[in-house]
Chain A
Amino acid sequence: MINYLPILILFIVAVGFAVTNVALSAVLGRQKPGVEKLSPYECGIEPIGSARERFSVKFYLIAMLFVIFDIEVIFLYPWAVAFKSLKVFGFVEMVIFIGILFICYFYIWKRGGLEWD
């Protein structure tokens, strides 16, 4: 455990630094709030409307489709690393897996899941 002592000290120093700075600026700084200062900062541009708008459900659909095909790639990496030791068995397994995903892709495409309108 003693080996982790530097990490603990760094942790305390980091937290202490942040807390001290915020506390000091709250105590010593001059507070003059105004309309401009309190408005949300949007890269210097004047804010237009509320930030709490509803997003189209299509964004979520795209996000979900992304996850499905992203997971495919996540499975492909370890498979590619272990490809030699898995031999033909691994190859056939992966062909089946990608085949199933291809059916998914075909289904989504035909159903119109990839179109925005």
Chain B
Amino acid sequence: MTFNILSILPILVLAGFGMLVLVVDVMSARKLGEKNLLAYLSLAGIVIAAIVSRNSTATTLFSFNETFTIDNYALFFNILFLLSTGLVILISHSYIKREDINHGEYYALLMFSTIGMMLMASGADLLNIFIGLEVMSISIYILTGFKRSKLISNEASLKYFLLGAFATGFLLYGISLVYGTTGTIDLRQIASFVAGKGGVKDPLLLMGMGLIIVGLGFKVASVPFHAWVPDVYEGAPTAVTAFMSVGPKAAAFAAFMRIFLTAFGSSHYEWQKAIWILAVLTMTVGNVVAISQTNIKRMLAYSSIAHAGYLLVALVAANNMGVSGTLFYLLAYIFMNIGAFAIVIVLSQKGDVGMNIDDYAGLGFKHPMLAIAMTLFMFSMAGIPPMAGFVGKFYIFSAAIKSGYVGLAIIGVINSVISVYYYLRITVIMYMKEPVRDFHPLTISPLIVVAIAIAVVGTLHLGIFPSKVMEIAQRSILTLR
């Protein structure tokens, strides 16, 4: 039995801090206003977990009977998850105070959810990935319904829970079929089984593969498994929406790539066709429907669907450039998406008032700094150089061309052009329309300013100097197959 406590050290740190936050919360007086300590405590947990994730080993480390692996791929994703959770804690601190949901459980659940994501990225067998997915999802179901007195939040939570449970069933059924045909849940043993048969020919195994695609496709919000996204994104507390749109998506892609490149890598001909269709549908539906949205959270929900589509393009390409491009794109997406949500939070009022796109009219003159930052994030998501989003899309589409999927790349670029319309519309409304409402004196906490600053710097830095991060991403994917 190989047992290495160091391999799960970041997870242990997060679990410890999560429980500490819970205990400190119930020990301290029940004053809702003063809970700054909990936010700082959770940030400390995130930072320590990031530090202990950093001392990477050059070689792949297996532990817990080879069900858990720590390689550069897992470490890259660990840092990615910790970064997104850290940024979300920064933006939620003032938000949950304003919305009267300042409970210590909020931070604890964020950290427990991050533990699930790390398990997913590090899982070396299908069941470990499944357990990670559940740990991640259950925490997020609760976070979605965190505004207990608001009906819309409860509805979102229940919808997400029911559909999520259904999707989990699909995933588990797929795993059981794969186990039934290959006789193992270990990814590398499945890989050698598939390679020994010269690709997936068994219809049962194909069905298992398809059901796994359904289960993970639900979590990355790909069409046609996207029906939950707009309602849940709109109903959840905005800070949780920011978290949901980056963390679980990145974790699901981490699992997606590990399962399909490691275990089914030698038979990519079979699954590429399915993912090709998913990618085209996801991009097109996401972008086209986003155009007609009037609520900014719903618009960002459809934009999140569209971005999942771009990432699926990279999965279809399945070459080194595509996979490292996915890692790069996910990092860029964290910065630009959490940045955009941070500004949405700053500009809305108690009870999530002010979520309409028209409410942003005239922002450019009243609050120029916020408007510039928002413009930056929108440009980045639309894929305009020199922002991070452009570089990410460039890597992904050129990977698709390199693998011979020219048609897919063209569809992707056309979609990217469609998306420019609704991203730029926000900029146009901010700068070229008269304000329709008085911007109340904004209460901007220092923590959210830090978050926006990090997001701005990250978006610009990844856009202008992408090579350093891209190198790290390329080194991270070597252990996948």
Q: Is the CB of B19 within 8 A of A100?
A: yes
Set of chain B residues within 8 Å of A30, measured between Cβ atoms:
none
B432 within 8 A of A: no
Q: In the complex, what residues of B have CB within 8 A of residue A100's CB? A: 19
Query: Among B20-28, B39-47, B56-64, B456-464, which stretch is in contact with chain A?
Result: B20-28
- A111 to B24 alpha-carbon distance, docked (Å): 12
| A-B pairs under 8 A by CB, number | 12
CB neighbours (8 Å) of B27 from chain A are 110
Minimum distance in angstroms from A41 CB to a CB of chain B: 36
- Contact of A83 with B by CB under 8 A: no
Q: How far is the CA of A85 from the CA of B26 in the complex (A)?
A: 39
Task: Please give, as numbers and ranges, the residues of chain B lying within 8 Å of A106 by CB-CB distance.
Answer: 23, 26
* Residue A82 interfacial (CB < 8 Å): no
| A103 interface residue per 8 A CB criterion | yes
Task: Report Cα–Cα, A103/B22, bound state, in Å.
Answer: 9
CB neighbours (8 Å) of B22 from chain A are 103, 107
Interface residues of B in 327-379 (CB under 8 A from A): none
Q: How far is the CB of A48 from chain B (nearest CB, A)?
A: 33
Q: In the complex, are the beta carbons of B26 and A103 less than 8 A apart?
A: no
Q: Decide if A111 touches B26 in the complex (CB within 8 Å).
A: yes
- Do the beta carbons of A110 and B26 come within 8 Å of each other? yes
Consensus secondary structure, chain A interface:
helix
Report which residue of A103, A106, A107 has the largest number of chain B beta carbons within 10 angstroms of its beta carbon: A107
Nearest chain B CB to A28 CB, angstrom units: 48
Q: How far is the CA of A107 from the CA of B193 in the complex (A)?
A: 47
A106–B26 Cα distance when bound, in Å, is 9
B23 — which chain A residues lie within 8 A by C-beta? 103, 106-107
> Which B residues, 11 to 51, have Cβ-Cβ distances below 8 Å to chain A?
19, 22-23, 26-27
Q: Within the assembled complex, what's the spacing in Å between the Cα atoms of A62 and B19? A: 21
Complex Cα distance, B19 from A103, in Å, reads: 7
In the complex, A1→B26 CA distance in Å?
Answer: 61
8 A Cβ contacts from A82-103 to B:
100, 103
Within 8 A of B (CB), among A20-34: none
Q: Which residues of B contact A107 (CB under 8 A)?
A: 22-23, 26
Chain B positions within 8 Å of A110 at CB level: 26-27
Q: How far is the CB of A93 from chain B (nearest CB, A)?
A: 10
Q: In the complex, what residue of chain A is closest to B19 when comparing beta carbons?
A: A103
Q: In whole Å, how far is A101's beta carbon from the nearest beta carbon of chain B? A: 11
User: Residue on A with the closest CB to B22?
Assistant: A107
A97 vs chain B, min Cβ distance (A): 12
A100–B112 Cα gap in the complex (Å)?
14
Q: Which residue of B lies closest to A99 (CB)?
A: B19
- On chain A, the residues within 8 Å of B19 by CB distance are 100, 103
Q: For residue B69, give the distance in angstroms from its CB to the closest CB of chain A.
A: 21
CA–CA, A104 to B23, complex, Å? 9
Q: For the complex, what is the distance from the CA of A98 to the CA of B22, rounded to whole Å? A: 17
Which residues of B sit under 8 angstroms from A111, Cβ to Cβ?
26
Cα distance A55–B438 in the bound complex, in angstroms: 48
Q: How far is the CB of A50 from chain B (nearest CB, A)?
A: 26
In the complex, the chain A residue whose C-beta lies closest to that of B15 is A100
The docked-state distance in angstroms from the alpha carbon of A77 to that of B220 is 40
A110 CA to B104 CA in the complex, in Å?
13
Instruction: Name the distance in Å between A37's Cβ and chain B's nearest Cβ.
Output: 41
Point out the residues of chain B lying under 8 angstroms from A103, CB to CB: 19, 22-23
- Would you give the shortest CB distance from B139 to chain A, in whole angstroms? 15
Docked pose: A107 CA to B105 CA in angstroms: 11
B residues near A (Cβ < 8 Å) are: 19, 22-23, 26-27
A-B contacts, 9 listed (Cβ < 8 Å): A103-B19, A103-B22, A103-B23, A106-B23, A106-B26, A107-B23, A107-B26, A110-B26, A110-B27
Q: With A100-B19, A107-B26 given, can you name 10 additional A-B contacts, CB distance below 8 Å?
A: A103-B19, A103-B22, A103-B23, A106-B23, A106-B26, A107-B22, A107-B23, A110-B26, A110-B27, A111-B26
8 closest pairs, A vs B, by CB?
A110-B26, A103-B19, A107-B22, A107-B26, A111-B26, A103-B23, A107-B23, A106-B23
